[in-house]
Structure formats: C-alpha cells, structure tokens
Amino acid sequence: MQPPRNPPGHCPTTEHQLSRRLFMNSLAVSLAGTGGLIGNAGAAHLFDQEPLQQQLKAKSRSVILVWLAGGASQFETWDPKPRRSTGGPFGSIPSSIPGLHVSELMPLMARRMHQTCLIRSLNTKDSGHDTASVMMMRGRKDEPAMRYPDIGAILAKELARADSAVPDYVSFYSQTEGRNFSKLTPSFLGARYAPMELNQSLMPPNLKKLEGFSDLDHQARAELQALLAKQFAQQHASPWVQSHAAAYARVQGLMSSQSLFDLEKEPLAIQERYGPSQFGRQMMMARRLAEAGVPFIRVGRAWWDSHGQNFETHQEMVPELDRVLAALLDDLRQRGMLDQTLVVVMGEFGRTPEINAQLGRDHFSRAWSALMAGCGVQEGAVFGATDPDGKEVIDGEVGAGELFATMLEAVGISHTKHYQFGQRPIPLVNYGIEPITQVLS
Amino acid sequence: MASPKLELQREHGREEILFSLSGCDGEFYAGGSDGRVHCLNPTGQAAPNRPPLEGHQSYVTGVACSRGHLWSVSYDGLLNRWSIESGRLISSQKAHQKWIRDVQLSPDGMTLATAGDDMKLRLWDSQTGRLIHNLEGHAAQSPQGFSSMLYTCCFSPDGALIASADRIGEILIWEVSSGQLLQRWHASTMYTWDEVQRLRSIGGIRSLCFSPDQSTLAVGGMGHVQNVDGLGGKARVEWFELQSGKQVGTFESEAHKGLIEGLQFTPQGSHLVAAGGSSKGFLILLEPKAEKAALEVESPMYVHQAVFTSDQGDLLVVGHQKATSWKLT
C-alpha cells in the first residue's frame, strides 16, 4: 500500500517535524550563511522571499541526479517506437502504468514506473555536449556578464542542514570523457556551495587520519586551532576570516564522517542489489549520502555518445542503468526516504530518430525524455508525447528551464525566488519560465 | 598476372537497411531492418512480382536457402522457414532467448546453424526443424561484467566443423556430428574496452570464413579503437591455422576503418573478399594470410553482406539503404 501523498511540492511532515534545536540551528546557519556568502562571493547579498517555515521544511530533502553523460537514447529507454523505421531493433514492454511501454531493455524499471514521473516532451534546442550540459545543469544559457549557479549549488544552499557534518554537494564522475562539460559551478553563491567532486574514488582524499595519530591528538589539535583562530578573528574581524573558520569546521566534520564513505558498512543484500559495477557502487554511495543529509548528489554515468553501434551500446549500458535505478528506488522506498528524496534521470540531450550508417544515433535535443521520482512529484505520471517516429514533440513541449523550475518546486523551493547579486536581482529561473505543474504532487 | 579490379556496376537506393543476403536459384534474398525479407535480382534491383516476406518483428539478420526453402532469423529470436516458390511461411519457432545474429546452412544443406546473444550456437535438422545440438561455450558476460554477444558462425567446406565467434574475440571450433568443442582461440585485439574515458566497449568478431582447402580460418572485425563513440578501428582480418590453432597472419587496413561484416572467398578460391564499413563502406580483396590487400575500394554505403552471383566475378552487395552490384576482374 502506498503511503499517503503530501500537499503539492511538500514532503511528509510527520517525518520532518523540526525539533526546536534544529529550528534554532537552521535559523542560526541561515543568518550565518548569509555572512559567509558575502565573504565568499565578494559582492553577493542573499535574501529569501519565502516564509521561513517553508524554507526550514525543505532542509531535510535531498536530490540525486543521475546524469547520463553523452546523451542516452530515449528510443532505447523511456520512449520506444517499436516497428517504426526510427525505432531500432528493440521491442517495448508494458510497464506498471497501464498503457505505458518502455524499452525491453528495462524490465526492472518497467515494474516500477508507477513510482515515477516520466517526461517525454523535452525540446531543449541545443545539441552540443558542452553547451547543452551547462544549460541542463543551470536551467538556462549564461549571459555574457552572468554565469548562473547550477542546480546542485542552488539546492546545496537551499537545502543545506544547519548541523550537517557532511558536504552539501557531491558529484561522482569517474570517466574522463565529458567530465568537465557541465562546468559545475556555484558562481556568485560562493565556494561554500561548490561540489565535492569524487572522480577517482568513492571516498574524499586524505580523509583518514594519519597513521599513529590518535583521536585525542586530533581533538587537541582542533582545540588549539580553534583557540588561535578565535584570537585571530578578534583582531581581524572580517567575513573572510569567518568563512575560513567555517570551512575548517566542515573539514573536521568530514573527517568525523569517514565511515559514511565506507560501502562495506552496507548489508551484502543491498550491495548485491546495486551490483558490483562502479555506477552501482556510486549510486549506493549517493543513497548513503542522501541519508546522511547531503542535499544534492550527482552521479554521472559516462559515456552514452553512441554515434556508432547505438544498439549494442545500449544493449550493454541500459541493463546496468535498469538494475541500478531499480535498486535505488527500492532502497529509498524501503528506508522511507523516497518521499524526501527527489531522483532525476537525465543527460544533456537524447539521440536522433535517424539511424546512421554505423548503426548509430547522433545528438538530438528536439524530442527526448527525462525521468523523475520521489519527493514532490506525482507517482505514475507521464507528461508530454512525441510523434509516432519520435521526431517531434506533439504534446506538452518543455525545455531546460521548465525542468529546472520543476526540480526546485518539487523540493519546496519557489521557482520565483530571487538572489541578489550586487544591485541586480537574479531569479532562480528566467522570467516567464514555469514549472511543469502537472507532474508536481 | 594482371592486378584485380573491382568495379561498381549498379546502385539501388532502399528505404531499409539490408543486413543479410543469400542466393537461391538465381534469386537473392536480403533481410532488412523493416523486419522483412526482400527478393532481389543479381544487380540488386527488387525482383518484380516477388513481394517481401513478412514474419518478423525486428531486424532480419540472417537468411539462408537450399532446396526450395528459405530460413530467416531475426533479433526477435525467431527462426522462420519459408517456401521460396509460394512465399508462404511454413514454420516459425523461437530459436533463441535473445537476438539471433546469424544463420548458416551446412554445405550439404542438411544442417542449419543459428547463433544468438544467449551465447548459444544451435544446430538444427534442416528437414525436420529438430534441434540437434545446443552448443554452449562462449562466456555470457564480458570480463567487465556486461552482456556479451555471439555474432557469427561458419561451416567448414566439408561440413565437419563449425566455427563461432563473439564480442570479446573468442573463436570456438566445434565438431558438427558430436557437438564437441575442439578448439578455443582468442583474437583479443578485435575487442576494445575503454575503462578510462567512456566505460564501455566496442568491436567483436563479426565474420568468419574457412579457406577452401580448410587449412585456415579467416576472422574479421576491427582493430583497437581509440574512441569507442564510433567505428574508428582499422578494418582487420586475422588468420588462424586450423591444425595448430596458431595465428598465422594479420591484415589491418591503412585505408579503411570499421568492422568487417562479411568474409568470403572468390569462386576460384584465390582471394578473400572482406566487406564492411564505418561512416563509409569498403570492399577489400586479400590473398590468404596476406598482410597487405590486393585491392581496396570504397563502397557507396556501409556494407553488411556480399555474395558472388556468378562464377565470373559478379558480386551483389547489400548494406545501409542500398544494394549494389560489382564486377571483379
């Protein structure tokens, strides 16, 4: 039986009752955070327009973005067109949503589609890896004088917990191809909201204490550092000093959460569910991080750019995606986390309906798909449609901005919110862009 | 001896991709991406009054014919048997649980072999449709834990042996009568696994052909690929000596990149024709065990299969939305 749904854009209140302590801590960090941002950004002033209560509720939510780098094919995943000339050789299978079929390569997700919200009508109008990656992560194109913060940085700021010892934004991307295309950036929000990028390992480097260095030694050093920092701050009061102290405290917090990054702590049955692949282990780690309070985690799986042998590439990669996604949804649901965790599956674009001479599909942004599940989005919803050959969107066309606004609203952040950068108000999404209300719960 | 020449004679555009080709009593049958089997004349033109055969739900990747019957296989897992005269579907059976990549008939026409991505090579009685041997020896998964694929199989000229080859470059030699595995070779260069940049693979052995004297087996694919987004490896043939199992020759094209999808000897048995493509198609003529090509020409399309239509060097070639005819002199 499904748990009762929540009011639109809100996660269950029963699991999110804020304690007085958390409330005060949140208030404190909200105010302190403003000062820190001024220090980091140099010129930025931040203010919130939404009621404090709503803001605080949002602070126990997380987003896991599954980034299909290089552009997975919508035909071989979420929007199959079997027996059409554009459809390729794969069949489709019925899903747990009556009337909805997905690629035969996704039997596990087919049985879980009633837990998800599928958007089949993205027209994002950019088919370049780097420019499209940036746009999808920032929800819009940059301007000559403005580099916008990406979704991870915004949600790190908006959802960060007051007493968190863990980072606010973590990105996994182990392959080298396309790693830097997204140019992840907090921009004017400041380095506090930059991602911790774990590209080589599941664990941040240098997290372990030195050999022969006891907890007592560690504590003594911290106390000495705190004393010296306090004296320094009294003599040199400035936002920069304050920021330095905050950063130091976070490093200490990270070191204390060493066991968080140890996947061997997971029961074997859970490890088996995600599978032994690097992608599976990163996704399992993403769940652990979300559970520990990390607001935004991106797991990049590269590289889907199948200009040659598209079908074999998807034959190889989609079953892994199917297994790992299904494991994540099951895991989140069984832990009661799915209502607090928004899962988004997308890349920078989809792939062409036309099949080229190498049996490949090329870049295509005119009609492709993304999947959402969990916090703030409807279960079992399908939004938009493409024509029978998958060449055009014929219903519910939306772009990168609308998807971005939907992610914000799903976790309780108003898409009409502004930041202030100097004298300029910076909206979280461009003016005129609206969320896809039909998919919000 | 004059240098060989290969000249394009006719070119016919098609809506679909043609993956497979087999000749039967002067007519030629090609399996398409539209799930149909198309009858062509020797120039590649659609045969008049021969409507396409409809009975598959996915790409038709193999056709074989003998004694008035045509067999077709498809990614839908079906092995279909047709009457050539009437075009009627005689039987249809689920032959593999995954994609079927190839079907071949033994030289005497009595045994049918199918190769599928369930990694099984299956031998069938062509008269009754009864399964004779279910040959399992190819690994189901690549060393990196992803699903492997069984692309191709080929009978020896005397019909006593059959070879099969897969994505990770393994070649297995089986005794047809007993189903016993006789030899296992490895052409590892044909498989590229990119651990660092893209975390996926490409390649595999796509074609096999025994020499007419049955002393060697030619193995076709492509060499190492720098960027697995496309078919950027050099077209490659490796020769294995049947008796010793040793690799006795390697050809890598300097002129053409991509997979070698089809291999067959000329009617006189003097040369091997290798056909395939990447963004462009090619036809390559090789002497046995040669490291250099006798001739390489560009095809107007990616080539999936080529078949000699006469003993005088007429060649029918099918591939990406085209059928072409060539003259080898």
pLDDT above 80: residue A87: yes
Closest CA to B147 of B166, B127, B164, B124: B166
pLDDT 10s digits, B15-62: 999 999 999 989 999 999 999 999 999 999 999 999 999 999 999 999
pLDDT confidence bin for A226, thresholds 50/70/90: confident
Compute CA B270 distance to the chain's CA centroid, rounded to the nearest angstrom: 20
Q: Across chain B, how many H-helices and E-strands are there? A: 0, 30
The answer to whether B239 and B217 have CB atoms below 8 angstroms apart is: yes
pLDDT above 80: residue B219: yes
Closest CA to A62 of A284, A288, A295: A295
Mutation target to probe the B interface, by most B beta carbons within 10 A, among A67, A105, A311, A312 is A312
The reply to whether residue A319 touches residue B147, judged by beta carbons under 8 angstroms, is: yes
pLDDT above 90: residue A209: no
Shortest Cα distance, chain A CAs vs residue B160, angstroms: 32
pLDDT confidence bin for A247, thresholds 50/70/90: low
DSSP string across A74-90: STTTTS--TTSTTS-S-
The answer to whether B116 and B147 have CB atoms below 8 angstroms apart is: no
* Dihedral angle of Cα A287, A288, A294, A295, to the nearest 10 degrees: 20
- B275 vs A241 pLDDT, higher one: B275
pLDDT score, position B25: 87
DSSP state of A258: G
The label of the residue with tokens 């909201």 reads A193
pLDDT score, position A57: 54
Measured between beta carbons, which residues in chain A are less than 8 angstroms from residue B304? none
pLDDT confidence bin for A281, thresholds 50/70/90: very high
pLDDT confidence bin for A225, thresholds 50/70/90: confident
Shortest Cα distance, chain A CAs vs residue B89, angstroms: 20
Residue in B147, B229, B230 closest to A316 by CB: B147
pLDDT score, position B56: 97
- Count how many domains chain B has: 1
Burial of B214 (0-12, 13-18, 19+ CB in 10 A): middle
SS3 content of chain A, % helix, strand, coil (to 5): 40, 15, 45
Mean pLDDT of all residues belonging to chain A = 86
Question: In this structure, what CATH number is given to the domain that contains residue B149?
Answer: 2.130.10.10
Percent of chain B with pLDDT over 70: 100
For residue B202, the number of C-alpha atoms closer than 13 Å in the C-beta half-sphere is 32
> Hey, is the C-beta of B261 within 8 angstroms of any chain A C-beta?
no
> Hey, is the C-beta of B93 within 8 angstroms of any chain A C-beta?
no
Asked whether residue B222 is assigned to any structural domain, the reply reads: yes
DSSP state of A237: -
Residues of B numbered 180-219 whose beta carbons fall under 8 angstroms of chain A's beta carbons: which are they?
196-202
pLDDT 10s digits, B77-101: 999 999 999 999 999 999 999 999 9
Which chain B residue is nearest to residue A175, measuring alpha carbons?
B197
Structural domain boundaries, residue A111: 14-203+262-439
Asked whether residue B1 is assigned to any structural domain, the reply reads: no
Closest CA to A3 of A386, A379, A409: A379
Asked whether residue A284 is assigned to any structural domain, the reply reads: yes
Closest CA to B135 of B73, B100, B178, B71: B178
The reply to whether residue A177 touches residue B198, judged by beta carbons under 8 angstroms, is: yes
Three-class HEC string of A276-288: CCHHHHHHHHHHH
pLDDT score, position A34: 34
- Count how many domains chain A has: 1
pLDDT above 80: residue A8: no
Asked whether residue A320 is assigned to any structural domain, the reply reads: yes
- In sequence order, what are the residues at sequence separation of 6 or more whose Cβ sits closer than 8 angstroms to the Cβ of residue A40? A189, A190, A191, A192, A243
Between helix A129-138 and helix A151-159 the angle, nearest 10°, is 20
pLDDT above 70: residue A12: no
The strand ranges marked E within B75-180 are 78-83, 89-94, 100-105, 111-116, 120-125, 131-136, 150-155, 161-166, 170-175
Cα gap A237→B88, rounded to integer Å: 90
Asked whether residue B196 is assigned to any structural domain, the reply reads: yes
Across A86-102, average pLDDT: 97
Question: In this structure, what CATH number is given to the domain that contains residue A290?
Answer: 3.40.720.10
Least confident of A36-40, A80-84, A365-369, B221-225: A36-40
The strand ranges marked E within A263-374 are 296-302, 341-346, 350-351, 363-364, 368-374
Which chain A residue is nearest to residue B299, measuring alpha carbons?
A357
Closest CA to B33 of A278, A32, A306, A83: A83
Across B260-283, average pLDDT: 97
Cα gap B271→B289, rounded to integer Å: 10
Least confident of A211-225, A294-308, A336-350, B164-178: A211-225
The reply to whether residue B278 touches residue A355, judged by beta carbons under 8 angstroms, is: no
**AA letter at B147:** S
Enumerate long-range contacts of A251-255, CB under 8 Å, 24 or more apart.
A252/A222, A253/A164, A253/A165, A253/A166, A254/A165, A254/A166, A254/A167, A254/A204, A254/A207, A255/A207, A255/A209, A255/A218
DSSP state of A114: G
Asked whether residue A296 is assigned to any structural domain, the reply reads: yes
Across B123-131, average pLDDT: 95
Q: Which two tokens stand for residue A383?
A: 């939004």
Least confident of A48-52, A220-224, A267-271, B314-318: A48-52
Structural domain boundaries, residue B181: 6-328
Across B95-110, average pLDDT: 97
For this complex, say whether ipTM is above 0.85: yes
The reply to whether residue B197 touches residue A175, judged by beta carbons under 8 angstroms, is: yes
Distances (CA, A) of A214 to A210, A218, A221: 9, 6, 11
Burial of B96 (0-12, 13-18, 19+ CB in 10 A): buried
Asked whether residue B41 is assigned to any structural domain, the reply reads: yes
**AA letter at B13:** G
Cα gap B51→B36, rounded to integer Å: 10
